[in-house]
Structure 1
Amino acid sequence: MRHVIALGVSDTGTRAALVGPDGTLLYEEGRAAGRGAGPEAVMEELLPFAEELRARGRDRFGTAAEAVGVAVPGGVPIRGTGVGSGGLCREGIRERLSRGLGRIPVVLAPEVRAAALAEGRLGAGRGADRFLFVSIDGRVAGAIGTDRGIETGAHDRAGAIGHVVVRPGGPVCGCGRRGCLDAVASAAAIARSWAAASGAPVADAIGCGRAAGNGDAAAAGVWQAAVEALADGLITAHTLLDSRTLIIGGGLAAAGETLFAPLRAAVRERIAFRRVPGIVPAALGDTAGCLGAGLLARDLLAG
């Protein structure tokens, strides 16, 4: 049976699958980084893992995988020093995997774009000709989906909604500017604000949302401030893109209606003359990046 390898890489491990020509998941496996957290530790084990998957596919289905798709963390540059030389880059990863697997084709994409592709074809964006996918975890990342696929932009930076300034003069963002959406509405930013407001040594964003829902005034203030900042960022993107659907994924989406009810209300208040887009949770969870990587590998073969 023809199949491809799909790999979804995070800082702490890798999710992998063998995917059939019709998109069927033939085999799935997750593996934590064995040499400590961080992208370098994960990447050191990626080729051996891919080799194991290829051998498993050959044993089970009688043929070896014909292509590999990899979803990588968004901060991995296209070019750079490469794996094994003190850094990571997509071209280095692609070359190492292709060479190690007998020169089969390998395609890489940032995890948020791979996840958006999967949501567009198989999940919450299915049937939407234009959508914006926003993942909210330790950072806010975005991807622009159309009926043609995922937009990359002229310099491979399309969809970077996390670096839209929504609170000028606000907290410093990792990019060096102040008041970016990433710095005020990511799960990490909410956790920091909630820790400061509550005095708790350990705090997390979902816990803040839960406390807000239970009537904690300090938590409600932190949560509402983040929701309004997120709404401002979404309105800016929607004004430019005219998306039919806004898909919210990542860990913060697990808050459910504690997030989505006030977020929809805040967007409606700001929408002005435009149509209100649908605002929906992502459907594929933390498997989306790996699924999207499989779709990218299938597209290589179809092309």
Structure 2
Amino acid sequence: MKRVSELVVLAVDLGGTSMKGALVTEHGATVATETRVTPENDIVDALIELLHSLEANASAQGMQVVAAGVVTPGIVDEHSGVVKYASNLGWLNKPLLQLLRARLDMPVAIGHDVRAAGLAEQLLGAARGAEEFVLIPIGTGVAAALVSSGETLTGATGAAGEFGHIPVVPGGELCLCGQRGCLEVYASGAGLARRYLARGGTELSSKQIVARLGTDPIADAVWTEAVQVLGQGLAIMTLLLDPRVIVIGGGFAHAGDALFTPLREALTAGLAWREAPRVVQALLGSEAGRIGASILAFRAAGRGDVVNGWPLAVEAA
């Protein structure tokens, strides 16, 4: 009897500095990974090379590739597959889906990296079972995946979720986007490090700054401001969308109780007449985007139901 090949998809989380690729089986197992530096030019060619490398790996293992999924930052129209704008990739109206379909002999899905991460957390992670939730990864910058009635909100132009650019501090510090007082100026990895240095500190990462809390007055000051601004942003988000749960991911979430205890207090204080939603840490971490890309790929192959049997993420002991 002929042996049935394992079905796999190619999944890539494309970022401004790296492209993280994986082979994911229909059972949700990652059987191979490959990460490459994102070049300054010819990004699509480099992406194709990565996808072909993953495909060759699958073939060498006797596996059958049924689709590919690629998620990217920026303003993304998932329906047309056009990346309307991605500053860290230098793209403007890039027809990514069309370009990939022309060079790959398989179904292809294109998604937004944070929205794909939200899909993964919804099905397998911290937001499972919630039809109304928000995922907010906080790293160098800040974005959000907005889910209402079980559906991801994309907005009229594909730009929904630019949570980091909500102007929460009137007349505040100038943001790189041109606005003043944007949330991510204060509550992001890059913002925290920059403000710590501007207050007289040394060049430290946000992780190093958090490690100095309680012993460094400058670290305490910029961290307190960051948490208060983030709490204000979450209050606005709560009043607009009424989520059941807010999931915080990215590097900031690694601060643990130093973040979540005062953040929950700040959110509660900002809501005078209603209870605050639960605020929890993301469970899938940096893999959420790539897992989301694999889910999109299986959907493109007409096998979206396979995710129902995938292992669920669990909280660390």
Kindly, what percent of the aligned residue pairs are identical?
A: 35
Contact kept in structure 2, 1:81 and 1:88, CA below 8 Å: yes
1:89 deviates by 5.2
Q: How many residues align?
A: 292
Moved over 6 A (4+): none
1:26 deviates by 3.8
Distance 1:287-1:62 versus aligned 2 partners, 3 A rule: closer
Please name the residue that 1:45 is paired with. Answer: 46
Q: SS where residue 61 of structure 1 aligns?
A: coil
Contact kept in structure 2, 1:76 and 1:89, CA below 8 Å: no
Q: Deviations over 1:110-159 (max 9, x none)?
A: 21111111111111111111111111111111111245342111221112
> Unaligned regions of 5+ residues in structure 1, if any?
none
Question: 1:147, 1:191 → 2: CA distance?
Answer: 37
1:18 aligns with 2:19: no
1:76 deviates by 6.6
Contact kept in structure 2, 1:90 and 1:108, CA below 8 Å: no
Question: 1:267, 1:246 → 2: CA distance?
Answer: 11
Please name the residue that 1:196 is paired with. Answer: 198
Please name the residue that 1:251 is paired with. Answer: 251
Please name the residue that 1:100 is paired with. Answer: 103
Question: 1:90, 1:244 → 2: CA distance?
Answer: 35
1:5 aligns with 2:6: no
Report the TM-score, using the length of structure 1 for normalisation.
0.89
Q: How does 1:1-303 map to 2 (within 5 A)?
A: 1-22=6-27, 24-33=28-37, 35=39, 38=40, 40=41, 42-63=43-64, 65-74=65-74, 78-79=82-83, 87-88=90-91, 91-102=94-105, 104-146=106-148, 148-200=150-202, 202-212=203-213, 214-302=214-302
Distance 1:180-1:81 versus aligned 2 partners, 3 A rule: closer
> Unaligned regions of 5+ residues in structure 2, if any?
1-5, 305-317
Partner AA of 1:31 in structure 2: T
Question: 1:204, 1:131 → 2: CA distance?
Answer: 29
1:21 deviates by 2.7
**What is the RMSD of the two structures over their aligned residues, measured on CA atoms?**
2.3
1:175 deviates by 2.0
Most deviating of 40-49 and 52-61: 40-49
Question: 1:296, 1:34 → 2: CA distance?
Answer: 22
Partner AA of 1:33 in structure 2: V
Report the TM-score, using the length of structure 2 for normalisation.
0.85
Question: 2:85, 2:174 → 1: CA distance?
Answer: 28
1:173 deviates by 1.5
1:174 deviates by 2.2
Contact kept in structure 2, 1:18 and 1:27, CA below 8 Å: yes
Question: 2:90, 2:138 → 1: CA distance?
Answer: 26
1:29 deviates by 1.2
Most deviating of 117-126 and 65-74: 65-74
